[in-house]
Amino acid sequence: MKQLNFWREPTDIGHAVDIMLQPSMLHSLTDLFTANNITFKVIIDDVKKLIYEREGQPRKNALRNYGTAHSSIMKSFLKRSKDVNSISSKAKYDFGDYHSYHIISSWLNDIERFYPNIAKVFTIGQTFEGRNINGIKIGNPIDRTDKRIVWIDGGIHAREWAAIHTVLYFIEQLISQYGIDPQITSYVDRLNFYFVPVVNPDGYEYSRSDQSPQARLWRKNRDKKECFKDRWRRTRCCVGVDLNRNFDFYWGEIGSSSHICSEIYRGSEPFSEFETRAIRDKLLSVEMYGKVDAFITLHTYSQMWIHPYSHQRHAFPNDVNDLQEVGKEAVKALENVYGTKFRFGSGADILYPSSGGSDDWAKLKAGAKFVYLLELRPSESDFGGFLLDRRQLIPTGRETWAGVRVVIDAILRSQGIEAPATINIDTRPKFQQLQNRTCTDRSPWCATWIDIDPHICLTAKSYMREQCSLSCRFC
């Protein structure tokens, strides 16, 4: 079992799991299932083929061709009529695709360069392979340190690319809408935001190094190789630690493994890894300790909004009522964007018990108030799992941002501040109000979008209804 790659972990007796395995193991495993009356079904017969279908051309070509990505039509898809000062006109990033850690870091540096009064890049540490773990602080004025803090990170698991992209989308929203949207302007003026889009850059870059399933679906970091003798006295060596089992919260207990080849290997001791120590030291620093009102960590997949604690069922912090009230409201706001349904509860109750997680540690040891772990698209029933189609990236960012804004609003309310009304796209006239008008396209790009993606009227239905009613035949 240690050689199996679980996409969906076991949650309880009788519940389904998703497993990726080498073709050579298929017959022996299915024979074992049959002998024990365990039902099974092959849902993806070629993972590598699915990677090509969902994520396009081989990674090296994608990197080589990125120079043309800034002129991608997806930038026009992001632009709205009110976004005349959009960040896309200065610090360019193509939100219609996945990109390398180098490109992500360069974009963060561009933001700081173009918006020095409200943005500042920081580094919390280095990885085993020597990469900086970069983040960006957003707040006005940028050097003010007495404000309450919102921490958001992603990419602690290498293969969860959509989580990284969604953190970047949040950054874009704050920067591009500052001074335009009164609500977002209030966020940036009254709070300090700390974003670490890629907690695990070594693992992320390894997952981009090849489109083989073994590389693309890599979960752990790339810590030094450890070797051992198996029961036949053969030497076996494995690499990496599951960073989300390495925090000092009931470390080494349920939902983690002491086996170095396991997907959920917890490491030799709490905070044995560069990445987890970097997060610990940042959150416990004089700069941040006692000021963190939200700690939100993004993962994929399963569509769940999770609050502490995850080490055992029915274990909650003292302020669980606050977490539940705000979390349920956030899930409703998320669903209102595209109808995407999230489950809500503690990790142990709706997912599976696990120990050593960053969110639980942030709640108990770092003193953060609103702590949530978000499992983004797709749902558990989607056979694509971690391989989220690029066409779903922007919708995922939009809906998740709607939920996160509820948490930010709750923080401001706790300070006696009511955020001003927003002027985002959702305040425009609804489609029903437009039906009595002449049926037209509001955007000149409709035909181009549909030519590039014939399914875009369905995959981005809400947006296309407002912009391309005629071309999509909504009226």
pLDDT in tens, 250-296: 999 999 999 999 999 999 999 999 999 999 999 999 999 999 999 99
Q: For residues 153 and 213, which has the higher predicted lDDT (pLDDT)?
A: 153
**DSSP line for 332-382:** HHHHHHH----EEEEHHHHT----S-HHHHHHHTS--SEEEEEEEEEETT-
Higher pLDDT pick, 148 / 438: 148
Name the token pair of 201: 């850059």
Q: Tell me which DSSP letter residue 458 carries.
A: H
**113-138 tens-digit pLDDT:** 999 999 999 999 999 999 999 999 99
Q: How many CA atoms lie within 13 A of 156 on its CB side?
A: 30
- For the domain 54-206+268-414, what is the CATH superfamily, name and number? Zn peptidases (3.40.630.10)
pTM of the model: 0.77
Alpha helices in 391-436 (DSSP H): 393-414, 431-434
Percent of the chain with pLDDT over 90: 62
Backbone angles phi, psi at 279, to 5 degrees: -65, -45
- Listed in sequence order, the residues at least 6 apart from 260 whose beta carbon sits closer than 8 Å to its beta carbon are 226, 228, 238
Query: What tokens appear for 286 in the block?
Result: 């004089």
Give the residue numbers annotated as catalytic, written as ranges. 375
Confidence of residue 65 (pLDDT cuts 50, 70, 90): very low
H/E run at residue 165 = helix 161-177
The set of residues, in sequence order, having a beta carbon less than 8 Å from that of 271 and lying 6+ positions away, is 246, 247, 248, 277, 280
Q: What is the DSSP letter of 87?
A: G
Length of the chain: 475
Question: Residue 43: is its pLDDT beyond 50?
Answer: yes
Token pair belonging to 145: 């340190």
293 φ, ψ to 5°? Answer: -95, -20
Tell me the per-residue pLDDT of 448-470, one tens digit each, with 9 for 90 and over.
667 667 778 887 777 778 778 88
Domain boundaries, the chain: 1-43, 54-206+268-414, 429-467
pLDDT, mean of residues 18-42: 75
Out of 157-166, 172-181, 383-392, which region has the weakest mean confidence (pLDDT)? Answer: 383-392
pLDDT exceeds cutoff 50 at 73: no
**Cβ neighbourhood burial of 195 (10 Å; 0-12, 13-18, 19+):** buried
Nearest one of 305, 308, 314 to 349, comparing CA atoms: 314
DSSP H/E element including 171: helix 161-177
pLDDT over threshold 70, residue 415: yes
4 has pLDDT over 80: no
340-391 pLDDT tens trace: 999 999 999 998 899 999 999 999 999 999 999 999 999 987 777 899 999 8
Nearest to 392 by CA among 455, 314, 442: 455
pLDDT greater than 70 at residue 420: yes
Contact between 302 and 373 (Cβ < 8 Å): no
Q: What is the mean pLDDT of residues 58-64?
A: 46
The pLDDT score that the predictor gives to residue 87 is 39
- Residues 16-30 have a mean pLDDT of 72
Residue 141 has pLDDT above 70, yes or no: yes
DSSP one-letter code for 41? -
